[in-house]
Amino acid sequence: MEKIGRNDPCWCGSGKKYKKCHCDIDEIIEEHSIKGEIVPPRSIIKNKAQINGIIESGKINTAVLDYVAQNIRAGVSTEDIDKWVYSKTVELGAYPAPLNYEGFPKSVCTSIDDVVCHGIPSPNVILKDGDIINVDISTIYNNYFSDASRMFCIGEVSPEKKKLVEITRQAVYLGLEQVKPWNHLGDIAQVINDLAKENGYSVVREIGGHGIGLEFHEDPWVSYVTKKGTDMLLVPGMIFTIEPMINMGTYKIIHSEEDGWTVTTADGKPSAQWEIQVLVTETGGQIISH
């Protein structure tokens, strides 16, 4: 890392002197780095102004999810959900990040039952009693990105699927408790994977979470199957998602060759996912969107 004088401006762009800004944090990062740990590059550590912008984006993202929560029910199509997301997001002065992202054709991902993630909304898919659905919403506001998803149980859902949904939600918030400076991404993954295994479930390995804020997907890539004490060091100013996909059966997944997006479980059993976007603060984890 580049050496900066204590009285020079901090590299984070705050305008403050280095000694009054990231100097102390950099010393601690350096100690971990010397021990051979994976430490975050400066490019993914946000300054105050960036954090404030990302928080505003996250508020809109959460509001759009709230709107979906108030209206989702049996009989609506996933295309209806897509229309709600587009119009609500634009009404709030923002833009849906998925739309045209790497060719994704819609404004939101809607993933039902054995669809693990990246389900494409369609007028032909009508929500029915007993479905579990993940609605994954991502927002661009003033060039700042936010991302969160929730599960919804439609009508009368089987106890087995309800439990999968609830355990997956608990896993995310258990993971959140591990978010604090100088912990590691693996600490989050371990508690999530442990809870899933205790319940006879498996965690998807190939798809994970991600850094986010200035871009839709930034470093780090976030696994939920790594071990406690391993993987990237958590440092104040990092922002990433906690979004494990937990399967009732095998962790193995299939990528659709037909549409290039839809991911399903290899055994056809249900999968659940909740996603929160989290900021590492000086003391813990702050939710940016949920």
Contact with ligand MF3 (CB under 6 A) among 39, 81, 109, 115: 109
State which residue has the least CB distance to ligand MF3: 98
Structure tokens at 26: 């950099």
Question: How far apart are the C-alpha atoms of 272 and 274, rounded to whole Å?
Answer: 7
Task: State the minimum distance, in angstroms, from the CB of residue 269 to Co ion.
Answer: 23
Q: What is the residue type of 151?
A: M
Least distance (Å) between residue 78 CB and Co ion: 18
Per-residue binder mask for ligand MF3 (CB under 6 A), 229-268, x = binder:
------------x-x-----------------x-------
The whole-angstrom separation of Cα 263 and Cα 27 is 42
Residue from 147, 187, 218, 231 touching Co ion (CB under 5 A): that is: 147
171-190 b/e with 16+ CB inside 10 Å = b? bbebbbebbebebbbbbbbb
Q: What does DSSP assign to residue 266?
A: T
Of the chain, the end-to-end C-alpha distance in Å amounts to 34
Residue 18 contacts ligand MF3 per CB under 6 A = no
Q: Does 57 bind Co ion (CB under 5 A)?
A: no
Minimum Å gap between C-beta 155 and ligand MF3 is: 26
Reduced to 3 states (helix: H, G, I; strand: E, B; else coil), residue 8 is coil
R_g (Cα) of the chain, nearest Å: 19
211 binds, among ligand MF3, Co ion, none (CB under 5 to 8 A by kind): none
Residues that bind ligand MF3 (CB under 6 A): 98, 101-102, 104, 109, 118, 136, 138, 147, 210, 241, 243, 261, 275
Residues that bind Co ion (CB under 5 A): 147, 241
